[in-house]
Every structure is written in structure tokens, then in C-alpha cells.
Structure 1
Amino acid sequence: MLDNMERGTICIEDIEIGMRRYLRKEVTDHDIALFAEVSTDRNPVHLDDAYARDTIFEGRIAHGMLTAALISAVIGEQLPGHGTVYLGQTLKFMSPVRPGDMVYAEVQVREIDHSRRRVTLDCHCAVGDTVVLKGEALVLAPSRKFD
């Protein structure tokens, strides 16, 4: 299940401080298995129930970078959207995401450097009221001048 705002592009000329976009996605067992396959990160804490029960998490968890990829999806699909170039990302993982969790991923514009087309975004992911990831992204936004 995926719930998100409209996809597309917001050019640097139209971006404003405080703008925000989000998506909601349920993280499934299938998502975790696919991420393990693509990333080659097959840590058993993500894939093996018996192993994961004996860890500090007391059960399987999604890859942290799978959760972070939801931030990437918001940036690449919504704000700024298509044509955006990632320049940097900081992340702090606050709490695990488990199979079946509904993750809310949001970005909000904090700073804009129009002359360099740079946008700094505050980012976070939450499961219910629990923030599971937070950080910031620096991106090069698309511009109508370069269409």
C-alpha cells in the first residue's frame, strides 16, 4: 500500500521555504526480501525470524537504508521531483521499522540558494508517533531555465 502526494517536478523558481511533501508506505516482507537482493545485504536480522528474536530488536527489522530510500522517493518524485540531483544526505536512525509497519516519510524545505539551485531539506520518517529516521538532504533542483 502506497499513499503519496502528486508526483512531478517543482522547479527552483517555484520552491518556497516550508514547502513539504510526503508519502506513506507499508513495509512488507517482500520489500525487505527485494532490498536484500538488490543491496546484497542479507544480514539475518532482516531475513531470519529465529535469529532476529535473539537480537536487541527482538524480531526482524527492515534495512535502515530501505527506510531512507523512502526519503529519496519523496525527493525524486515530488520535492523537487523529476530532474533533481542528490548532492548529500545525513541520516540518524532512531528506531527500527518492522515488517508491516506503515512508514510516513516527509521532506520540508529549510533553505534555498537560488543562485546555485541548491535546496536543503529537513527529512524524517515516522511509524505512528515514533520518529524512526531524521536528517537533512542537499539537492540540486531542476530549473525552467535549463529545460
Structure 2
Amino acid sequence: MSEVTNTPYEALEVGQTASYSKTVAERDIQLFAAMSGDHNPVHLDAEFAARTPFRERIAHGMFSGALISAAVACELPGPGTIYLGQQMTFAKPVHLGDTLTVRLEILEKLPKFKVRIATQVFNQREELVVDGVAEIIAPRKQQTVNLAALPEIRFE
């Protein structure tokens, strides 16, 4: 388990930033396909993907969206955050082995604990792969929580 402290609404400041990184592995693509039900062969079948403009398998677009969600939920503002909406534009494909970095920046504090956050995802070459804006409800109180450890999932 890891311990995380959130940033409550009152402590958030316009311009405040945070980041979250993850390398896209085969296991991630398989689990995302299983969880989402999106079995598009461009994500799962190398022969099919070779005949597309991408020439190789790519990650699901919403996999990047899930990383944005993780960054908002675990980094800024952190635990207790409630998502209201997310606008995303997919600028470049994400390939297996890419290391993605989600960069968050507080854009605006709104009434009733609402906050607008810039949500950008970059690959290891600093290329923008996803650009967007989230609207969330920030936590009202600061709290420190232990994030649950996930069970090991094995593929056969």
C-alpha cells in the first residue's frame, strides 16, 4: 500500500501542477481490452495492425484517458476527487512500450468546489498524444489515505 495526501479545494491554486507516468505494457493492453470489452484488432492483432496506417498495434485511446483519471484521483487533487467531465483530443497514437506522462495544471477554480484542470499526455519523446480539460469536484477536506494494493492477475 502507498500513502497519499490529497489537496483540498481551498489549497488548490491556479497554475498548480502535478504529473503521473506509466509505461504501456502488453499486460496493460490485454487487461484494458478485457475490462472494456474493446477487442478492436488494431490493439490486439499484430497482423491486422500491420495493414493499418499505424503499421503496428496501438494502445486503446481511452487507456490514456484512464491514466488521466488515475493522475486526477491519486495526484492532484487526489483521493476524494469526483469527476464531472473530460474533454479529450487524441493527437498521436500510443504504442506498446511508450512511457506516458500525464501532466495536470489547475486552470480555474469555480463555485461549489468545482475545478477545471488541463490534462495533457506526453510520450517519452515529449510528443503530445492527448490534450484535454477535466472538470471535477475537489475534496473539501485534506486527508491522507492508503491506496489499496491490487491483486496479481496472471494470464495463461
Q: TM-score, normalised by structure 2?
A: 0.86
Runs of 4 or more off by more than 6 Å in structure 1?
A: none
**Aligned equivalent of 1:85:** 82
The match for 1:111 among 102, 108, 115 is 108
Is the 2:20–2:75 Cα contact (8 Å) retained in structure 1? no
2:4 partner SS: coil
* CA RMSD between the two structures: 1.3
1:76 partner SS: helix
Q: How does 1:1-147 map to 2 (within 5 A)?
A: 7-113=4-110, 115-127=111-123, 128-144=125-141
1:57 partner SS: coil
Question: Is there any run of 5+ residues in structure 1 with no aligned partner, and where?
Answer: 1-5
Q: Deviation per CA, 1:23-50: give whole Å up to 9, x if none.
A: 1110001100000000000000000000
2:104 partner SS: strand
AA aligned opposite 2:39: R
Percent identity for Structure 1 against Structure 2: 39
Q: Going by fraction, where is helix more abundant, 1 or 2?
A: 1
**Aligned equivalent of 1:3:** none
**Aligned equivalent of 2:145:** none
Q: Deviation per CA, 1:56-111: give whole Å up to 9, x if none.
A: 11110000000111110010011111010000100000000000000011110000
CA distance in 1, matches of 2:37, 2:107: 34
Q: TM-score, normalised by structure 1?
A: 0.91
**Paired positions, count:** 139
CA distance in 2, matches of 1:132, 1:7: 27
